[in-house]
């Protein structure tokens, strides 16, 4: 059971903001006070609730013993030492020690130099525990600890975060990621909602200045609200996530969210709607609709058009480098393509949408050689001014697959490559005389 703490919210400016010509930063649309929710840091809460978790960050380990260590465990093997930066207080460095022989990792959570008086890690091998010949085991640990946050005006507070670390046996590196959340319930226009704020940064700090976050190569904080009451904060078919530092439409009003460092106070102020707001969502393409011709940029610098494949049944896979479910589905698409490509009446196209060209080029260089079906990039990139392929085809989530016939008429459309969708896709193709070998 998930315990949600109380959350208070004052709605100070109920009138819609779409008519405002300029933002009024001195005014507040709402102010949300979010108490810490340490119980939400346990178990698989994030895997069930958040579609995109923070990425693991590497830490170099060394055999050199830091001078700050005053007391430590009796190690079975050769200890390796590393340092993590958590929070943003003056003292934000945390010592971590790995002992492979003992299958143990120690963290100086209270930062007193004594490694023996801290809470033990919840540690687990990711394999069965039996080492396969020629392969090193990888193990993962989880700590719930309090770290310091500088809130400004000489105010420093300590709040709980979840720290996850991963280490491959025998490696001189360790990887870590941080979850910092605040959660509760709020009332908006007479209805009660579950809400949460997540940091998105590698240190647990809730960054709400988008430019500063980009400069630091960090993610900004996010406000999550369970708008449809399904018990999760995962943004699937309805929008539940509202990024900080950029204009977002929030219950009919355009606002920009700001937060203090630990996420305990979130404020939304009026914001001017971005240019793309003028383009209202188009209805999704359905069976019987026609897909308009479009162009995509190929990895070799060339271009391809959908019309180049006229006369064939085409499976369009819309994806992005930042989309975890997309990347998980692509190997399955490749497997089916290899089993079907003998048939000249079929084409499979991977179309990267809503993405940065640099991210696409990097992915192509690192992962592209593993795929044999054509993969291209939507020239509109992340611009949403009525020209991007997600907008033109009424796509509101990815991965989305659209199957069209020889004349460009939609035969099938689905979101996510579930086993049921895979089965339906293969049956459709088989009915058209395209069967796997």
pLDDT of residue 133: 55
- Number of structural domains the chain divides into: 2
pLDDT of residue 323: 86
Question: In this structure, are 229 and 160 located in the same domain?
Answer: yes
Return d(Cα 9, Cα 187) in angstroms, integer. Answer: 7
In Å, what is the CA distance from 91 to each residue of 95, 156, 261, 263? 12, 11, 15, 19
Question: In this structure, are 269 and 299 located in the same domain?
Answer: no
pLDDT of residue 171: 92
Question: In this structure, are 269 and 321 located in the same domain?
Answer: no
Question: In this structure, are 317 and 244 located in the same domain?
Answer: no
| Helix, strand, or coil (residue 271) | coil
Last residue within a domain, chosen from 273, 305, 327: 273
Determine, yes or no, domain membership for 64.
yes
Residue segments in the chain with a per-residue pLDDT below the cut of 50: 1-24, 127-129
Last residue within a domain, chosen from 273, 306, 323: 273
Q: Give kind and range of the element (H or E) at residue 4.
A: none
Strands 8-11 and 93-99, sheet pairing? unpaired
In Å, what is the CA distance from 186 to each residue of 36, 102, 160, 225, 251? 15, 47, 22, 9, 13
Return d(Cα 288, Cα 408) in angstroms, integer. Answer: 9
Determine, yes or no, domain membership for 396.
yes
From the number of C-beta atoms within 10 Å of its C-beta (0-12, 13-18, 19+), residue 416 rates as middle
Determine, yes or no, domain membership for 286.
no
pLDDT of residue 324: 82
Q: Give start and end residues of each alpha helix (H) in 216-369.
A: 324-340, 357-367
Question: In this structure, are 113 and 217 located in the same domain?
Answer: yes
Determine, yes or no, domain membership for 325.
yes
- Name beta bridge partners: 375: 350
pLDDT of residue 134: 55
Question: In this structure, are 149 and 11 located in the same domain?
Answer: yes
pLDDT of residue 153: 87
Token reading at 6? 């109380």
Determine, yes or no, domain membership for 284.
no
Query: Which residues, 6 or more positions from 267, have their beta carbon under 8 angstroms from its beta carbon?
Result: 28, 30, 31, 32, 257, 258, 259
Question: In this structure, are 249 and 386 located in the same domain?
Answer: no
Determine, yes or no, domain membership for 45.
yes
Question: In this structure, are 369 and 238 located in the same domain?
Answer: no
Which residue range is the domain that position 402 belongs to? 295-431
Strands 138-152 and 122-125, sheet pairing? antiparallel
Determine, yes or no, domain membership for 22.
yes
Question: In this structure, are 251 and 176 located in the same domain?
Answer: yes
pLDDT of residue 231: 78
Token reading at 315? 């499976």
Question: In this structure, are 340 and 243 located in the same domain?
Answer: no
Determine, yes or no, domain membership for 365.
yes
Question: In this structure, are 302 and 175 located in the same domain?
Answer: no
CATH of the domain at 366: 3.40.30.10
Question: In this structure, are 314 and 243 located in the same domain?
Answer: no
Token reading at 215? 């400069």
């Amino acid at each position: 059971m998930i315990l949600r703490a109380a959350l208070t919210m004052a709605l100070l400016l109920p009138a819609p903001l779409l008519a405002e010509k300029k933002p009024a930063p001195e005014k507040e649309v709402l102010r949300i006070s979010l108490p810490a929710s340490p119980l939400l840091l346990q178990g698989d809460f994030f895997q069930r609730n958040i579609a995109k978790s923070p990425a693991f960050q590497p830490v170099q380990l060394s055999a050199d013993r830091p001078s700050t260590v005053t007391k430590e465990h009796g190690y079975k093997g050769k200890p390796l030492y590393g340092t993590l930066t958590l929070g943003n207080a003056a003292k934000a460095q945390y010592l971590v020690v790995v002992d492979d022989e003992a299958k143990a990792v120690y963290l100086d959570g209270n930062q007193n130099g004594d490694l023996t008086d801290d809470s033990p890690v919840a540690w687990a091998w990711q394999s069965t525990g039996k080492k396969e010949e020629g392969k090193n085991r990888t193990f993962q640990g989880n700590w719930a600890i309090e770290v310091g946050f500088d809130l400004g005006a000489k105010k420093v507070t300590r709040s709980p975060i979840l720290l996850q670390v991963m280490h491959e046996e025998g490696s001189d590196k360790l990887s870590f990621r941080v979850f910092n959340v605040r959660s509760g319930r709020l009332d908006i226009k007479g209805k009660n909602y579950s809400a949460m704020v997540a940091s998105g940064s590698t240190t647990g700090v809730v960054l709400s200045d988008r430019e500063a976050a980009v400069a630091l190569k960090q993610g900004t904080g996010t406000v999550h609200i369970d708008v449809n009451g399904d018990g999760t904060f995962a943004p699937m078919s309805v929008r539940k996530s509202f990024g900080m530092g950029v204009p977002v439409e929030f219950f009919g009003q355009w606002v920009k969210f700001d937060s203090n460092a630990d996420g305990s106070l979130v404020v939304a102020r009026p914001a001017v709607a971005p240019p793309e707001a003028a383009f209202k969502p188009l209805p999704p393409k359905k069976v019987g609709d026609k897909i308009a011709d479009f162009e995509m940029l190929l990895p070799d610098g060339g271009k391809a058009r959908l019309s180049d494949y006229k006369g064939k049944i085409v499976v369009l896979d819309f994806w992005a480098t930042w989309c975890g479910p997309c990347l998980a589905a692509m190997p399955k698409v490749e497997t089916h393509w290899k089993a079907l490509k003998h048939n000249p009446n079929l084409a499979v196209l991977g179309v990267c949408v809503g993405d940065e060209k640099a991210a696409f080029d990097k992915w192509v260089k690192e992962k592209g050689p593993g795929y044999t079906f054509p993969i291209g990039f939507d020239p509109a990139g992340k611009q949403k001014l009525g020209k991007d392929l997600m907008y033109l085809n009424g796509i509101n989530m990815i991965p989305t697959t659209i199957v069209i016939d020889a004349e460009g008429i939609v035969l099938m459309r689905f979101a996510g490559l579930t086993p049921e969708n895979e089965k339906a896709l293969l049956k459709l193709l088989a009915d058209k005389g395209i069967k796997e070998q």
